Structure 1
């Protein structure tokens, strides 16, 4: 770890804190009376020498201490502060949203606000994005879509996960113990892929062939090693209750979209031209932040999750 000195409290932050807490609070009095309680250098021994950008140990330590002082659970500590929009990207309508993922992450890192975790939906969980985000020190979290042949789609038979892949030996071994005979590096839709098949490996006579393939022999399409291993790991993780609880936090993202649509009419633009629309989006995001700050200051609770009309019919049945 490369410890950095604790920065001073920004003037605007101090002014906002005084306005919100005219008589002060525990956190403010702690800073006023004791000054800097922890330094990043105090935690050097607890961190490796190398690694990606991370939240300051001082920040984590102070949040943890104050969390216990206020008797807050981990989830309550997260919700103790308002969730604000920190970045806005505006593109033309045909632009693929997923293609903006790394752009957003790079922008946040450049601004000193790089996240340790980025919660997204299935459309953003491409193998390349998972690996590239990891290289930036960001854990891209979302459901990995089911892709592949009928085995994966139908949930029966031998899927890709049932094969043992040896990238060093350039072989794949099927559940029946047969080894692949061809391993070919190729390009599909502009992306590097690996074609593996079991030509002349005895597929026609295999008793498990109906569960494996309708073709003469089985073939597999693999991502490059790092991407393949990342995908397989994510598929294992998303079948656990721990992952489901972790991903449940993303409901707040959908809530933000709903708030933007219903409170600020985000589906329609008041102006023409990308520069004007971008300005409108920045103003819209700022408006949502002000609404959320006001709700936080006044103690207004979060709204309940909306129940769809169809779900209401089911509940009434």
Structure 2
């Protein structure tokens, strides 16, 4: 599971434009809108209520980690005590970079009642929308200390002025995302790659497909990998992953092809061979239909139609 998942996350190319430590005292409610980035939160102290627009509210305790690959708006509020109706809190950013809400006057050393590490990251891949569609809509991990360590490392490295900082942050984020997705999670049972990998039958076919995208796969061959009949496999794969097997294979091959062509290190013939097309003309036809322009033009950086 980790190999296939790491391949997807590596292609996403995560970046960390924002990460901060936030502390609160007493009742609070903070509203954020128009985020449009990946959001993650590691609760270090206390309890809080997290309401991501369009999803059921969550009650988080110290040690809980939440990751939402796509979010536009959210509300964070206190539970001990509950935030009164109409309360809107504005964080105060100190010189140390920590965002604080409601610290008692003159009590600088008072321990916070709630402390959380909050971060946003974006995916630099031009194919981010397609790749993100393979991931669950929300991940909740309870009590995984490794995630707190990784989130802290991301924050510290993002704020540092050291050589190769951006590369280090990108790799740390990759590890953080992989750890979050492979941990024991409670996520929405939406179809997608993670749900497929977790299924003992469909997961076998997905791993085989990702291991050898150049193989001339057919539905019966993938069904054999899964240990199912053709019809049972097709139905199960489509229900769990969200698209039919051959559609998933095509999307993945085209994603790999775009990545290779964009890198400039592969010719058309090599890309054709690596993703399993019998001829350059067959690949060119499929690529043009899927992407909107011929592979040679795409490799030169000409935008696809639409």
Q: With structure 2 as the length reference, what TM-score do the two structures score?
A: 0.25
- When the two structures are superposed, what TM-score results if normalisation uses the length of structure 1? 0.25
Q: Which structure's CA Rg is the greater one?
A: 1
Structure with higher RCO (Cα < 8 A, 6+ apart): 2
